[in-house]
Amino acid sequence: MRGRTETLNSVFRQGEVGYFQPGETMIESGQLPQRVCQLRTGLAYQSCRFADGRRAIVDILTPGNFTGLETILSLRASGRVTAAGTVKYSALDAACVHRLMEDREMALCFTSLLIEARRRSEELAARIARLEAPERVAAMLVDLHDRLRRRRLIARGSYNLYLTQQQIGDHLGLTGATVNRVLSWLSRKDIALVKGYVVIIRDMSRLRRLASGEGAMEMPRPRHTGDRVQEAVA
């Protein structure tokens, strides 16, 4: 997998370089992407909106991730991709990507990207289905830390997270108020601090236990309403 990542990096370094500003739309929902972009710096997110205006953020993209992969299968984008902070990218147009796909090794490289995106989607669905609010937030913080660490973009337990509490909630199936209470609890327990747009992980081992569901004894116990668990942090 490492070799395929390096292959894609070298190919996209030859592409067009550009920038998106915070809040700018990178790909519009329902659009057939005209290019595939690799994030070089910054964060972006993919979201879907429901008829009543509610939003679900279905993926968070970090440096090294790609947008516009739907063009590989000639599909329209299923959601809008938005720059969370300033994003630097390199891009190849759709025609170039289709030519590259004629090479078996390059086709495998692009297929691995689709599999990686599918894996992130499945992990998010599992967390929302079975984890409590503090566990979901912890899992997100650990996941982003590990993804940035693998890219050698951070060396310590701190990184920038250009998402509001409401956007975090939209990603994890929580309300903004619940996210606020969870972050306050993590800070009081000296596990992690999220202040402004900076994450500071103070106790990685406890955060990982919480993210995996092993730290349930530390968590405030939610009340049950019917067959659903109320998202609340004491």
Enumerate residues 6+ apart whose C-beta is below 8 A from 212. Answer: 139
pLDDT tens digits along 85-108: 999 999 999 999 999 999 999 999
Residue that terminates a domain, selected from 126, 144, 165? 126
Domain co-membership, 138 together with 67: no
Domain co-membership, 155 together with 95: no
CB 150 within 8 A of CB 159: no
State the sign of the Cα–Cα–Cα–Cα dihedral 27, 83, 143, 16: positive
The domain in which residue 57 lies consists of 2-126
CB 137 within 8 A of CB 220: no
> CATH code at 108?
2.60.120.10
pLDDT tens digits along 117-144: 999 999 999 999 999 999 999 999 999 9
Residues 28 and 32: their CA atoms lie apart, in Å, by 9
Domain co-membership, 105 together with 189: no
Per-residue pLDDT at 226 exceeds 50: no
pLDDT tens digits along 4-55: 888 899 999 999 999 999 999 999 998 888 999 999 999 999 999 999 999 9
Residues 106 and 162: their CA atoms lie apart, in Å, by 32
3 state DSSP class of 54: coil
State the sign of the Cα–Cα–Cα–Cα dihedral 179, 134, 119, 53: negative
Side chain identity, residue 57: I
Residues 68 and 78: their CA atoms lie apart, in Å, by 10
Q: DSSP letter for 196, please.
A: T
Residue that terminates a domain, selected from 76, 102, 126? 126
Tokens of 36: 């595939």
> CATH code at 198?
1.10.10.10
Residue that terminates a domain, selected from 99, 126, 153? 126
Within a domain: 176: yes
Domain co-membership, 48 together with 113: yes
CB 163 within 8 A of CB 59: no
Per-residue pLDDT at 216 exceeds 70: no
Within a domain: 234: no
Domain co-membership, 26 together with 69: yes
Domain co-membership, 115 together with 160: no
CB 73 within 8 A of CB 184: no
Domain co-membership, 12 together with 75: yes
Domain co-membership, 6 together with 115: yes
Residues 120 and 131: their CA atoms lie apart, in Å, by 16
Domain co-membership, 117 together with 149: no
Give me the number of domains the chain comprises.
Answer: 2
Domain co-membership, 40 together with 103: yes
Within a domain: 82: yes
CB 191 within 8 A of CB 207: yes
Q: State phi, psi for 194 to the nearest 5 degrees.
A: -120, 110
pLDDT band of residue 84 (cuts 50, 70, 90) is very high
Domain co-membership, 140 together with 84: no
Q: Please give the radius of gyration of the chain, using alpha carbons only, rounded to the nearest integer.
A: 19
